[in-house]
Amino acid sequence: MKSTRDIIRRARELGVGLPAFNIAHLPMTEPVIRAVRDQDSFALVEVSRIDWVKFGAKSLAAVIEEYRKWDDPRHVRIHLDHVPVIDEDHEKVDYRAVIEEALSLGYQSVMIDASRLSLEENIRTTREIAELAHASDIPVEAELGAVLGHEDGPLPPYEELFRSGRGFTRKEEAARFVRESGCDWLSVAIGNIHGAVGEATKDQKKPEARLSLSHLEALAGITGIPLVLHGGSGIKRADMLASMKKGIAKVNVGTEIRQAYEQALKERGSVTAAKDAVYTRTVSLIKDWFGLTGIRAGILD
């Protein structure tokens, strides 16, 4: 079976950003995988710590157990998304224990997010996890810069954030980070933002974000590894598609399918209806937004 490392590398070669769909609620797993299969596409199914702490993913073990009921290696791999060292509530996380558990359960790639630390601490922590995961031949994603949105309270106006470059991944730090940390993929901040997760804002529509494609192109040249776009929901489609040609090989999608599930469940009171909503939205994203119907064979070549 082709490894996730090779799959993401292949995506970068093809100029494709593979979607990575976050499972915020366990019943979302089956319709996501079914949608990817029905579109003859390829995607990552992923869960982040926030999905089981603040939503309905329950646990690392629960997600992979559900995933294995529907797993189709021709179309999907399972990834552990954001495991922060310092979380969105500014609490310390036992990140190593979480990642050790994920490796023991069979997750096929993992992410360590030490971006709230200093550059030196981020490098040190990422290197620690890279050494741990690489011993099991599992690739590691890291983050440099600040993809905002998960923090409590409203964001400053988006245009203000973009103009100021607040949180953008610094070009002068990127090469050093990749070289010294040993990460396989790097999540970058180039204008993208996360969907809000606080109780007061989690149901709100995300601001439409755009990307600094020139900044991305420079980062891709400096780092030489596949780059990752977090906060894929709500980005201008032209920017998102252009980013794939400039080094983005993985695009995280959470808000779009989580809100589809939650809204259908609230309005119709039916998990079946909520799953149908996730399936419909995921098909639309793959087919009409990403334009990735029929790419499976090329990714697995």
Per residue in 226-246, pLDDT (tens digit) is: 999 998 767 889 999 999 999
- The DSSP bridge partners found for residue 88 are none
For 160, the token pair is: 């203000």
4-300 folds as TIM Barrel (3.20.20)
Range with lowest mean pLDDT among 22-31, 71-80, 93-102, 188-197: 188-197
164 versus 194: the higher-pLDDT residue is 194
Whole-number pLDDT of residue 203: 52
Domain boundaries, the chain: 4-300
The pLDDT mean for the chain works out to 91
Report how far residue 104's alpha carbon sits from residue 231's, in angstroms, rounded to the nearest whole number. Answer: 28
Contact 104, 138 (CB under 8 A): no
Q: Span 107-114, mean pLDDT?
A: 98
Confidence band of 163 (pLDDT split at 50, 70, 90) = low
195-226 pLDDT per residue, tens: 554 444 455 555 677 898 999 999 999 999 99
Contact 43, 75 (CB under 8 A): yes
What is each CA distance from 235 to 12, 229, 230, in whole angstroms? 19, 10, 10
Q: Span 113-123, mean pLDDT?
A: 96
Report how far residue 142's alpha carbon sits from residue 155's, in angstroms, rounded to the nearest whole number. Answer: 23
Is the pLDDT at 139 greater than 60, yes or no?
yes
Whole-number pLDDT of residue 46: 98
Confidence band of 194 (pLDDT split at 50, 70, 90) = low
Whole-number pLDDT of residue 234: 74
Report how far residue 289's alpha carbon sits from residue 202's, in angstroms, rounded to the nearest whole number. Answer: 22
Angle between helices 237-244 and 213-223 (to 10 degrees): 20
pLDDT above 70 covers a percentage of the chain that reads 88
Whole-number pLDDT of residue 88: 86
Per DSSP (E only), the strands in 193-264 are 227-229, 248-253
